[in-house]
């Protein structure tokens, strides 16, 4: 083969490679800057409520508990819901937690529009993503502190020695490892609430919803629970939503939403 023939083959090969490269290069769609901003904002939100309304009807009477509520909560924030009794705080918490379905508007949690989920899928979403803390603790009296947490883990498919190890670790996290075998009646109010917080953390949910978590506690235990909630958000990255009348919690909150007559007055 002559030098001229070799040169021709090399040029043909080079052209073919260039053509194949151009043909096989995938088309990449680019996002407009404003679209990037929307996506970034959505990903930073743990909770996004839009136009949420709630109407109760009984015996022919109509009562509007919530009126066009908009609320955004960033991931890792502590958000308080405050206001007088009957202002709609607990109703809003129940809607944001997927317990009640609003008669108007929609709610997105962790990017998921929960108002569009079926009952079974919504129940599964709550189980995997939301931990609940109640004013009245809601512990099983016949079970030990450790067993109360294990029950929550079993519901999430975590059983046996793995569940026991995780439950004990959660009690350690709230400073009650030495109370693992105690029953609720043997615990103080503050200790019961810390067990309830540990139970809420079972399975590592990203959202914590608390209804008056410090209302039944004295100053010392109240501050201990507040510090635990602060730690969940600021060191563990959980998003914490709290209905409360307790002004002590305001100092650790990122935002405070004030409700009155079913309407959001300020946030």
Work out the pLDDT band at 58, boundaries 50, 70, 90.
confident
d(CA 38, CA 32): 10
**Which pTM does this prediction carry?**
0.80
The CATH code for residues 34-266 is 3.40.50.300
Q: Coil, helix or strand for 97?
A: coil
Sheet order of strands, 61-74 included: 61-74, 45-58, 104-109, 112-113
Q: What are phi and psi of 92, to 5 degrees?
A: -65, -45
Quote the pLDDT of residue 263: 94
Quote the pLDDT of residue 16: 46
- 24 has a pLDDT exceeding 80: no
Work out the pLDDT band at 42, boundaries 50, 70, 90.
low
d(CA 93, CA 263): 14
d(CA 67, CA 258): 13
pLDDT tens digits, one per residue of 132-159? 998 889 999 999 999 999 999 999 999 9
229 close to 49: Cβ distance less than 8 angstroms:
no
Mean predicted confidence (pLDDT) in 48-65: 92
Calculate the alpha carbon distances from 108 to 22, 70, 111, 137, 177 in Å: 42, 11, 6, 27, 36
- 200 has a pLDDT exceeding 90: yes
Between 44 and 139, name the one with better pLDDT. Answer: 139
Question: In the beta sheet, which residues pair with residue 49?
Answer: 71, 107
CA-wise closest residue to 109 among 74, 133, 77, 80: 74
- 22 has a pLDDT exceeding 70: no
pLDDT tens digits, one per residue of 67-82? 999 999 999 999 999 9
Between 11 and 90, name the one with better pLDDT. Answer: 90
Quote the pLDDT of residue 37: 47
Instruction: Tell me which of 14-23, 146-155, 245-254 is least confident.
Output: 14-23
Mean predicted confidence (pLDDT) in 160-172: 95
């Amino acid at each position: 083969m002559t030098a001229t023939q070799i040169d021709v083959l090399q040029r043909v090969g080079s052209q073919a490679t260039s053509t194949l490269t151009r043909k096989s290069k995938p088309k990449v769609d680019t996002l407009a800057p404003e679209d990037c901003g929307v996506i970034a904002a959505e990903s930073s939100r743990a909770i996004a409520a839009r136009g949420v309304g709630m109407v109760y009807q009984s015996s022919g009477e109509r009562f509007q508990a919530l009126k066009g509520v908009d609320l955004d909560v960033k991931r890792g924030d502590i958000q308080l819901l405050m206001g007088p009794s009957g202002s709609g705080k607990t109703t809003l918490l129940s809607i944001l937690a997927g317990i009640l379905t609003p008669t108007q508007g929609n709610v997105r949690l962790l990017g998921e529009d929960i108002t569009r989920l079926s009952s079974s899928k919504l129940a599964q979403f709550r189980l995997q993503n939301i931990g609940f803390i109640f004013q009245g603790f809601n512990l099983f009296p016949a079970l030990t502190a450790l067993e109360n947490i294990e029950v929550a883990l079993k519901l999430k498919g975590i059983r046996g020695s793995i569940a026991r190890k995780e439950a004990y670790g959660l009690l350690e996290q709230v400073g009650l490892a030495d109370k693992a075998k105690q029953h609720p009646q043997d615990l103080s109010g503050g200790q019961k609430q810390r067990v309830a917080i540990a139970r809420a953390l079972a399975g590592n949910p990203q959202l914590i919803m608390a209804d008056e978590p410090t209302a039944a506690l004295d100053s010392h235990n109240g501050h201990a629970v507040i510090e635990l909630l602060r730690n969940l958000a600021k060191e563990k990255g959980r998003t914490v939503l709290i209905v409360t009348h307790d002004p002590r919690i305001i100092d650790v909150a990122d935002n405070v939403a004030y409700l009155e007559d079913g309407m959001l007055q300020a946030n």
